[in-house]
Structure 1
Amino acid sequence: MAKLKTEQAPITELTNPQPKKARRLKVLSTSKLSSNQQTIYNTNATTSPLLKLPPEIRNRIWGFLFGGKIVHIQYEYTRPGRRMVHFICQVPNDDEDAAEHITHHNELDGSPDRFEIYRSRHQQCSGSGTVKRTSLPMAALQTCRQVHEEAALLPFQRNEFSCALITLGPFLQSLFQSQARAIESVTLHCRHPYRTITLKKLVKAKLKALKALTYFVEMSSDVHTNPTLHPAWSECFAQTEAVAATSATIVPYVPGQGDAGFMAPSRTTMREWATSFSKTMVVAQD
């Protein structure tokens, strides 16, 4: 994954701006190869046992290696600043099952259906306790030019990306355009109606191939029950309007399944609230 730049430009560059260098939009440079590079490229393609396999078999191998996972994205604070990191989800049940479980809970009229909140479910994924944090084998893409050409976008196309809503904008900015436009599934989690000026533009410009979008919304304070703040959530969800081609789901829940120490909204209210907003996020079909 392309790294997010965190260093600030020197003062001299701010006062005497230099012509900006065009940012590379593709993962793999299209510049011509030298004769020596071309020779190595051809040798690998004809002698490597892996690269001599039929393309359909190689594609299956790339799929097993780079895809089929939930990938968490978050900021990691280090000296001198912070950086964007990713790690593979360690939870056995995926977020789709969790969303269905919470949705079923909100549909019940009687005793609450027990479920684990999003933050608790994924706490171990970041590498706490005995669980070791793991990441995608991106280094494998640097072993050979042909491997890179065939599989460079698969980590983005074949995985579900999960992050806090506040992290989505910086994450998209950290990617090459072709990487962001390969992403098909995104799961967001939030506790407050976060809005920025640029997020909606980034989502529209970069998530061109998005098929599925899921929000886990933790209602943990009175801000969620105050009717005057309802427009804040409307503005929040408007940032991802009409971006999902197939499905969009908002999953609201109360920590403690109704035992929170504030005036929690009813399950009926949460269900109707989620349904009304979810419809706005799916691309209208002609």
Structure 2
Amino acid sequence: MRKGEQLPWIVSDELWARIEPLLPVVPRRTDHPGRKRLDDRKVLCGILFVLYTGIPWEFLPQELGFGSGMTAWRRLRDWHQAGVWQRLHENLLAELNAADALDWSRVVIDGSHVRALKGGPQTGASPVDRARTGSKHHLITEGHGIPLAVSLTGGNRNDVTQLMPLIDRIPPVRGKRGRPRFRPDAVYADRGYDHDKYRDLVRAKGIRPMIARRGIEHGSGLGIYRWVVEQTFALLHWFRRLRIRWEIRDDIHEAFLSLACGIICWRRLRNLSLS
């Protein structure tokens, strides 16, 4: 990290101004108030510390002032159930759209395996990891690699089964006058999505399928468009907590995925303002 650069898990004033209005208000009980609730911003810093470093919840350093790991875990769970991370992601996409930073001419889709050391829902025997228990991250990005939607499945699920669910999960993106945008012009995918049935389903939505076919020589020309999703996977898995699935509960891992997508969008928006 460069000298004078802010630690990545410290929530800036600009980011907090976008997150704070989304957090549910928890009234304090008057009959049995107990200890004062720890400041939400500090707890969010603790959640981000775990996301960035991959440290176990119980080892969250108390001297940082972020509260206990269990407090951070509960807030992550509650805020995910309240839809905070999804709304943050959608709001940031709207800001990016208003800045003409989204390329709707195409979206790119792919999947990536991660090992799931503790098992749990949405896991399965991974065909690319000697049948070890794993999960898959399925990601769809716009033309520049900004994540639009992400999902979690077992490691034994075929990528093509998530093609239509991911397209359907693209949120209606506001930011400009008129109707929100949620349908791209084309979808790009590799040979793992080569099924005519799904091409027809994509066309039925008014989207042009650009999917590489099996049995043809490499060099289809689609790689110049599809590489952006690999770049975004690299950004997602730069968060150490997402490189390996440590959570038994799938909703906690999904919360980390959704939060990470929001952070990636926030970085892109911040870079736009600095350029």
TM interval, shorter chain, is under 0.3
Q: Which has the higher contact order (CA 8 A, sep 6+)?
A: 2
TM-score (norm: length of structure 2): 0.25
TM-score (norm: length of structure 1): 0.24
Higher gyration radius (CA): 1
